[in-house]
Structures are given as C-alpha cells and as structure tokens.
Structure 1
Amino acid sequence: MKKRLHTPILALTLLLGFKAYAQPCAVILSSTDSLICSGDGITLNALANGPDVQLIASNASGNNHRGNMFDIVATNAVTILSFDASPMGNTTIEIYYKVGTWNGFANTPSAWTFIGSAPVTYTGGFVAVPVDVNITIPAGQTYSFYVTSNNSVVSLNYSNGTNVGNVYSSDANITFLEGGGMEYPFTQNTGAVYQPRIWNGNIHYTLANQPGTTITWGTGETTTSIPAAPTSTTTYTVSATVAGCPSTLFDTLDVTVSIPVVTANGTLEVCIPNDILLYGEGAESYTWDNSVTDSVAFEGIATATYVVTGTDSAGCTDTDTVTVTVNPLPNVNAGADFSVCEGNDITLAGQGADTYIWNNGVTDNVPFEPTSTVTYIVTGTDTNGCVKNDTVTVTFNTNPIVSAGPDLDLCQGVPHIFLGSGAQTYSWNNGVINGTPIAPLNTTYSVTGIDANGCSASDQMTVTVHNVMSSIFSSGGTLTAGTLVDMTAQWVNCSDMSIIPGETDVVFNPELNGSYAIIVQDNVYGCIDTSNCVSVDFTGIEEMAASELTVYPVPTNGKLTIASTNAVIERLELIDLLGKVLETTEPNALQTELDLSAYESNTFFLRVYRSGQMALLKVVKN
C-alpha cells in the first residue's frame, strides 16, 4: 500500500513586483515562483511598498577605518532597500546583517548573514552601493548591519561618537544608532573594535503596507496574507494601490505542485540465504526501512515487508511497500553412507525435495551396479525452486575368494574335515559343518563364505567315495576271496585279528582249525575292507550261517541292534580296523544293543560269541 507523506504547512512570503528585490512603489515578491509538495499548504504574503524614503545616518566624517557595524531600530515595519557609503578610494563593499544588536558579535562571523557585495568608484562624497539589501525589519525590532570595504588599504569614512547605542539620527520610521569600526574582515581576528563610531552614509528604505494601501488577490481576497493549498500548478495574481505611488501595482506568482509517485521494485522471492536487491523508482533519492540501502544487495533471512520513501528534487516524498518472501531451503537427504558388495545393485533416492539430480550418471530411484567407492551428490529442488545438496558415500567391497578345497577321492566310511578358506564364516550344503569331521557321501559339496564386510562367494568340491567289498567262501579246507584287481590281500586269524605271515593271495589253505578273514586294500586309493570270518574245522568244517545273526541298521548313526535266531549271545566285542578291542559286553540274550554315538565315523567289527562259536560281523558308523 502506498502512503503519502505530508510536511507541515509552509509559510512563504511572496512580495509581488520585481520578484528578486524589494523596490519602492511596488507590490514586491521576496522569492521567485514556488514549488511545494502535494498535500502541503502555503501562505502567500503580499508586501506593498511605498515610495523610497532616505535617512542620512551621518556625513560628519573626521575618521575612517575599513568598516562599521551599527543598529537600526524600526518604529514601523520597513524594508531596507540599499545603502549609500562614503569610501576613500575605489573598492568593493560587502554588506552583512543579523537580527538583534551587533554589540558583542564583532568577532563572531558565524552570527552574521552575508547579503552581497559590489564595486564602487570614489567620487569624494556618498556613492550608491549597488547591493539590493531587501531586509524587512518588523515594527519594534532591532537589526544590525556590517558595511565594510574588503580592500585592506581603502577605508570608509566614519565619525567619532559619544556612546555606543546612542541615537544619532532618526525619522518617524527608523532610528540609526552609534556603533563601532574595525579591520576587515570582522576585526581580522585581533578582537580590536574602535567605538563608539558613527557610520557615514545614507539608508534607503520603504514602508510596507502603510495605512491607505489596498491589496486585492486574484482570488478576491483583500488581506495581505492568504492561505493556499493547490493540488496542481497554479498562478496567483495580486494588485495594490499605495499612497504616493503613481499607479496600481501588479505581480503574479506560479506555485508548482510536485507529486512524486514512488514504486518499490526488486527481488520479490528468494531462497535463503540468497541476496535481495531492492530499488525505488519515481523520485530522486530513496530510503528504506530495515537498514536496507537502495540498489545494494543484502542477504534475506526471513520473509519481510519493506517500506521505501522516495524524495524528488523538490524534497517531496512518497512511499511504497514491497513484501519479499524468503523461502527456506529444502531439507535434502541423500541417505546414510553404506557399503555394497561386488555384483550387487543399489538404488539411490533423495528425500526432502520434489525433484532430484545426481552426479556420476545416477538416476534417482533407479537401480545400478557400482564398481568402485564413490561419494554421490544429490541436488534437490523444491516447489519454490529452492535448491540444496547432500552427499552419500557408497563403499565398494570386492567379494572374497572362497575355496572349498580340491576335489577328493575318499574311502567309504573314512571321515573328512571340510574347511573353507578366503572368508570368515562358512556355510556348507549336505549337512556339513565347517571344521567338523563327517563321513562324506559320493557327491558335490558347496560352501558359501562371508567376509568381514558381509560380502560372500561360493565354491564347490566333488567327493568321490571308493568302496572296497571283500568276501570269502570255503571249499573243503580252502578259503577263496575271489578275483582281486589292483588290490593287496592279507589273511588274518579272527581270534585276535593277527596277521598270518605270507598269506597274501586270494586263496588260503589253513592248516589249523580256526576262524579266518581276509583284509583287502585298494592299491589306488588305499581303501581297506575286511571280510566276514569263516570257521574251518577239519573234523567237520562249518561256515556260520549268515541267517543266524542279524545286525541293523547298517550303516548306523548311533545304536546297533544285534539279534540271534538260535543261540544266546554270550559275549560281544567291538573291534576297530587295527584289531583293537574298543568295548566288551556280556548280554546273555538272544538280542542286544550297542551304542556307537560316542565314536567317530568309521568301519568297525563285531565279534559275537555264542554256544562255543565266534562270528565276526562288519558294521559302518556314519
């Protein structure tokens, strides 16, 4: 909203006639055409001067110096027109005045107002000083004047007086008082004043608005002063008749009204902390509130309304306001820093704004696969066009090089410890626990390793399980193991699993009654198997019928059940591959159990004693 500023009503004295100077027999204007601000008032004063009146101050001479100060007291309101001086040579005369007496201000130049100066030519007497004094002294007031030569070697005549302030000459309208003399200018900083001294010269003045004077304004008013409040440029006229003046006097005055129309312009909306630039138009100079300087950028921190006051060349003012909206920056968030493993996709999505632009070729919310550690910058723009950045660092981690180990050839029932390498933790298929022995299957094993960064990789190993099956049969007193290819054989005595020296062929002819078995070893992979025991009795050789004893389950993960169909099991021995007796029980029952849970996976033998006979059975623990 615009606001018009008004100054108080102006009081302007308009002396109609010759506009610049007071003159006798004239309606005189003390100023030229006037300029006011819209909304201001003005008082028009008409001063009708009568004929020129002259008072001789003094012509006594007798002394001289550069200049004089003296007082004039007005009985009636008068306008001092000019002075005649008495120079002692060609010089330039300066004239000053002040309201009130001169006495006590001779050494105070700042107390005086300079009226004018003019050159004069020496004639031996009074000469007119061509300076239009034009000073009106109200009735009953004292004004002082300083008339001086500005030439340090040319003086003005004055006379010695009797007492400073004494009346030297007067008439019905003004009184001239004794004053003082001094060097130029203003005692020349010496402080020396010669007093009392009487200035030699004439005083020309005129009476203003003397009785019998009639004044008529173009508006019809007949007072000496009229108020005016023009809304546009207006010409005012006045006429006057003055006693002693030959004709009616006229003059005019134009009052121009200045109407500045100020507008506030500049930045209307910004994003914090951008600069704001405000400037006014329609006047000459501009002042802003809130410490703003016209056309000088400043940082806006909050939405605010700014007021500009424009002043034109006439000093007239107008105001306008502008509201600048300061928008906060969006709270853009690229997300927390994180890590990614080789070969994985990531998705970067900005938050806190409306649109997002990423560097490094990234598209917001579109998956991509990073290949190195990078700090990504997102630029978010909100609906106000305000922009802010944020960063997120994505650490790229290569995957570990995981190894399951080389492919293996193992013998059935032989335990193996699977150990992954290249990572920190490992997960196997087929029930394998890393670092724990297990009798492997004839299959492919896979391991997945995870490193300290959480990155993973997999590897495989193939396990081939080789199985050696040994069996024997008897014919009379001869035991035969069948055909052996790439294998080594060794016959043993089942009573204590002792080796029978020299008996390494597939055919064995025992010389003594007993129970015998053959141990067969694969020459390629080293796998070993031991056959069942066969009894040889030369008095009546008998092979224990396999159907008389039952062992299950084989293979087993824990408990075994041993059952006999026709004789009580008197004693039971668990033997390892080396013939060491691991455990002995005496169940004395047709059926018993044996728990192998405490033993590692392997191949074992059971010696079963019943009715004076012994049988050797093979079992496998997974």
Structure 2
Amino acid sequence: MKLLKFTYFFVFLLLLTFTTSKLSAQCTAQQPPELSGDTICGSGSVTLEVQGSEVSWFDMETGGNLLDTGNIFVTPVLTETTSYFVTLGGSEETDLETPALFGSTFPGNMIEIVALENVEILSFEVYLTTSTNYEIYYKQGSFQGFEQTPSAWTLVGSAFVTANPQDILTPVPIDVNVSIPAGDNYSFYLTSTSGNVQRYTSGTGLGNIHVQDDNIQLLEATGNQYPFTNPLSPRRWSGKINYIQNCQTDPVEAEIIVSPFPETNITSADTTVCGGIVFQAGSDKDVVIWNDQITDSLFEVNTSQLVTVLAENVYGCISRDTIDVTVNPVPVVDLGADIEICGGPVFVDAANEGADFMWSDGSNSQILEATESNVYTVVVTNEFNCSATDSINLLIKEKPELTVNQPEESFCDDDPVFNLNQLVTPIGGIYQGFGVTSNNFNPSFTGPGEYQVIYTVQSLTNDCFSRDTIRIVVDNCTFIGEADFSESELKIYPNPASDYFIIEENSGESIKNIYISDIKGRVIESFALNNYFTEHTIQVNHLAPGEYFVITESSGKLQVSKLIIRR
C-alpha cells in the first residue's frame, strides 16, 4: 500500500514539473556582422563579404526580398545608389504546450505571453468540445484593464474550426504571425463565437507563470464570454503555442554609392571660336584642375591654346579631357553715341574696312546713309566669320523749308535800300550781314564790293532751323559820271561790234585800264593793261547784244564811248 502511494506521488511530481517548465529547441545567437559600404564611379558591381554563419542578404531592412545566402554576395551591375542588408543566424520552429487541464468550459480565454528571446507566434491549438466559429485578437502589453475594451485589441483573423475529440488538441486554422521582441509581452484573446466549447481550468493567481520554456512564458489570465464580457480570473488556458525562435541579428546596411563621373562639358572634337569661350566642369564641391592649375569650375579661354581639365568629386571619381581651342578675333564695332540732328542724311561709319556688313535697313555698305529716324543695327562679319553688332538711335528732325533766290543783277553803289524779303520764302526769319538792317540791305552804305547776307528761319514745330546765303554785288556806278563824253579821243571800231572791237587812244597816251559797263553804269568787264599800248583788241562775243559804255583810264583821265553789240 505504501509502495502504491509512493508511485502516485512520483507521478504527481513529474506532472507538476511538466506544467512549470519545458525544454525547447535553441538556435545560437551571434553578434551583428561588420559590413561597410562602397563607392562605384559610373556603374559596376561590388563584392560584399562578412564573417559568421547562416548569412542572409536582403534588399530591404525589413520585409525585403532574400537575394542570396552565404558569406560572399556579389551585387548585380549598379547604375544608381543601392543599399543591401545582411543578417547572421536563422530561426527554429518550436512550440510550448500546456498540460491538458479540464476543470470547465467557456467561450474563450485571454492569455499573456512574455518573450524571453525574439519570437514570432505562428498559430494556436486548443481543446474544444465541439466545432465552432473562432476568432483570435491580440494587443501589445498586458490584457489587464482591457478585458472589456474591444477597441484596444486587433483582430488577427476568424475561421470555422472543426473540432477533434475533446481530449485531443485541435489546430486553429488562423495564421497569427505576430512577432514579439525579447523582453516584451503580448496578450491574445482566443475565443469561440458560439458558446462554452473551449476547455480550461481555474488558476492559482492572476499573472502567475502557467508554463514556460527558454524562449517564452505563458501567464495565468482570464476566461471570457464572447465578445469581451464577463471576465473570470484567474484561469489557466489549455493548449499549444506554435512559434518561431528568431536568432537572426538585426540587419546591417551596406550602402553602395553609385556616383556619376564629374562632367567636363568638353566635346571630344577640337573647336574654333570667336573672341573666346568659357568652359565649366564639375560642380562647386568638385576639385577642378585646368591646365595643371587648380581653379574653380569655370575656365575662360581668350587665346588659342590646348586646354586640359581634370575634375574629381567627393567620392574620388575622376574625369579627364583635352581640347585644342583656336580663338579668332571678333570685329570691334562702335557706332558711337546716339545722334539727334536737324535734317539729314546722317552718315554712320561701322569701320572694319573689308568686312561684310548687314544693316537693319537692308543696306550692306560700311557707311550707312540714313534719312529717317530709327534705331539702326549693324552686324559686322570679318574674314574669320566672326561677327559683332552694335546699334545707334538716330533722331532726324525735319528742318523748315527755305527758298532763297539770288538777285538777278548787281546793285549800284547809289541805289536805294533793297527789301530782302523779295528774295526768300518764307519771310519772318533773321538776316545777318554787312549793310543789313532788319530785312533791308543798303548798297549806298556798303559801297562797291561783293557781300554775303545770311538768312535763318526757325521751325515752328521743333528746335531746327534752315539757313542760306544771299550773294550781293554792289558796283561803282558813280565814276562813269566823271568820264568825259564830249572830249573823248577814243576810236572804237567796228561799232556796232559782233565778236570783238578795237579801241585806239588818239591822244597818244597809253591806256592803263578799260571798263565795259551796262547802260545803267554797272561795270560788267574790266581789263588792267600792262603793255601801255594805245591800241587794243577786246573780245565781246560773250556779251549779250545791246548798248554798252567803254571807259578808258590813262594818266588819270577817264574817257567814255558808246558801244553797240549786234549779231
């Protein structure tokens, strides 16, 4: 009898031990791997390598695609910056099963799981008295205080569960897939929606450890009516937790920077330019060396030369290029300041003799003749086909119209005052000159001679004026009256004359000067004689037919004879 009691006691101890602790499969934790990124210039592939076991390569930190396994990973050819992630270690699928304790039935249970290592809860198995519709909820943290708060919970899923015999575990066909980091606790609500069909038993204390292994602890919790009502505690749930122990290290990133080569912006072909050229290479952060001298990104070339450039960016990517630059001169075109002038034309010289010219008015000569106000632009192209341009604004204002008629004949020095307004259109301008008072000319004041009178008329619409010259001849008509007509010793023949006449001084004195005047006494021809002969031939074929006076001067004596010219 004592032996039988001892046997029962031993079995009880074994059962008690099973309900408090269970060994589980273990995976070996590793330190995160050492991994650094790399830089590629342009494009290319990189080989990444880490030390450790169960190496996995991913394209995203979480939820990415598994690209490869093993310590060495060769990337595909990359054309843009890309990150890769590596982990060490794997995972083991295992479970934690409670004792089959059946004190009562209820629709559902709330359970609380404490993760001792990183785990992922996969699914649950329960003891049911009959098939039923089933739901699973979860929340982070303890269930306590939220037993009747549906909004604090997240529905994992629902399904119809076909029950095994009530003493055999029934898998719930709902994928849970909830990860619990080491040190955290999560609560789950496992419930039937149609009655008291889930088997469990009373507990020893709310929050006490019901069962555990090396990875998780299952705490005593509650029984609940559906949905989220009538919590009863403490209660011990009966069933199995299927989970994955995750021994992977946290992902370590390797960023592969794909840097483009710095731009030199130099074509491969040599070039010919007019005047000069500015090259730009790289960016403000790049080191740029032009012709072996460090400068900024800009390089100005004004003379023919071989240009070399090296550009290096912050990633050490280097570009080199060379170009032979021929610089031809550009014409210098300066049309000068804008011009405002009264009356045209205006002549504008573009200089650069021998070049080609194209003016905005269509003309193509070096010198522009402009008669209208406008902005004139010229393009000058030299022998190197290099061009330059300039513009000038010409304001050509209209001058007033002015007509000046010259006197038909000369004035005698004893003529009266002459009104100059008879010679001009329009009147009202200003006369300037010797012998001029207001608009009158006085020949008796000036005496014999040739005189110029300037006439100026002002525009009524602008500040322009027109000006012209009146040329006046005043003859000495008074000396004819001093000549001796009655005692003339002159002999003129032929008279009438046609083309010439001969004059003789009968007194024997030589003639010094001969004058021919019109009938009014105005001298129209004069001859100074140096040979002192007494006979002279005078050509008159250029004089109009009519009556004339011939006056001779000899030894201070004036003699006059009438001459008639006929043809």
Same fold (TM over 0.5): no
Task: Output the TM-score relative to the length of structure 2.
Answer: 0.43
More helix by share: 2
Point out the structure with max Rg over C-alpha: 1
Task: Output the TM-score relative to the length of structure 1.
Answer: 0.40
Q: Which has the higher contact order (CA 8 A, sep 6+)?
A: 2
